[in-house]
Structure 1
């Protein structure tokens, strides 16, 4: 049995956080409808209930309402990440790129708007569980425009050159493919590279480690600032 088949046979444990009981109920039913691929690990309607569950439950993905009781959930993301291995998917009705940027920089792996389809939410859960980032491609450019530039800092440039030298030709090719297909699903990028999605994830993990970055958003920024989106040969 391959790693991919084994991973698919184990349900994704989803913890849902929303302070509206009706929405919470609906999200529970939605996730449970995706059995056997995923199941509800627990629910919470406030941050305190979430915190109490972090150490006592096996959680793979946390679907986190951005607004809990009138308070932004962005400020609790670092605490969640320090106390859990779960990946965070933000659910929000806020379309502000600056808010989305703040959530990503805080450590969220994806953002789904509340008016998106049920299928979109389920796909986002699967994708971030697989190690990808989920952000609406229509908002990607606007979010990236708000990320801080560092290309004019000499010390950063020197460090970047050192990191770049560790990349293989194949890794540079993969970076270019990921950047050119901004917002595409991992399977689409993998097919363009004639590799499996599992192999792509392995390559990306190695690239992230070499460049000391966390996800595809960081990779887009890094590649743009250091011309890695232009110098790879395909």
Structure 2
């Protein structure tokens, strides 16, 4: 699995695989390793989720980001705030965006950014789409935009932290999003991470493996 991840990251970044397995720097001397790919899973109020995510430094200030997340929800609310009527459904979320990095000192960065995303829903029992479940024409509203501000801090070369606060607008409503994460690199470029977040009315905690260069 790690060989496959290394190979994908090597191809993705154009970095030789030998540099990925024994790097002697972080891109642009940043305190936080922004060049990464991760896979993880988590729990929230209404169910479970899996997530693929990554980011890449285009230059010393701009960072490209992206993620795909699938939630396996039970008896939850759809994003309109309406109840899902005891259905068991999947929410999928695909988003791409960018962060602008401002170094504050050698150990601390401020970041500001945004994402453009698309959500879609399907009932696992009936294969009904969201508009059939609750009567909304969700294709007209499920494209969302998100803005955020955050901090990235390096406690040591092996331990880094991040925190964000922001808001997302989709389905004709806006809601608050906050999160905090911690990553521990037990090798130069493989980390175990954990993230806690609050999104609208749902708390969430997740864990992941991150591969960085």
Higher helix content, 1 or 2: 1
Name the TM-score class by shorter chain. under 0.3
Q: Please report the TM-score for the alignment, with normalisation by the length of structure 1.
A: 0.25
Higher relative contact order (CA 8 A, sep 6+): 2
Higher strand content, 1 or 2: 2
Q: Please report the TM-score for the alignment, with normalisation by the length of structure 2.
A: 0.27
